[in-house]
Amino acid sequence: MEKEYVTASPEETERLGASLAKECAGKGPCFVALYGDLGAGKTAFVRGFASVLAPEAKVKSPTYTVVNSYRGKPWPVYHFDFYRITDEDELYSIGFYDYLSAGLCIGEWSENIPYAIPEGSRTVTIEKDASDPAIRRIRFGIYGGEA
């Protein structure tokens, strides 16, 4: 079963990201798959997520580097941008599968890698509300199952 939230500002979206990080931090390495259009608020969500474990991190979308690493406690945070990933060979070349067991991984544009998302991963879908450009509808789920 999915859970849906509504946020009215980037700060609220960040707080929702922080709440998910607190939940994930106690469970050990995991993967969070982010879905959403350009400008939906994925990076704001990651800023909040990273703020829990790596409060000093300067979170920016890793559009050209593909992955940013933030030193965190008790786990590092690995922030992926899969926008330019076209096949599994590219995932292997960046060491994606090694990161999965090394920390908390969160990936923007996860719709580009459906074949690589581990079963049971958390999913976060962020959509802009057509009636108000500040509002976001954010759904939490589980990949391949229910929330």
Question: In what order do the strands lie in the sheet containing 77-81?
Answer: 3-7, 132-142, 122-129, 30-35, 104-108, 77-81, 67-70
Give the global pTM.
0.90
Write the pLDDT tens digit of every residue in 93-124. 999 999 999 989 999 999 999 999 999 999 99
Going from the N-terminus, what domains does the chain have, and what CATH number goes with each?
A: 16-135 (3.40.50.300)
Lookup: tokens for 98: 């090694």
Per-residue pLDDT, 62? 74
**Please, which pLDDT band fits residue 51 given cuts at 50, 70 and 90?**
very high
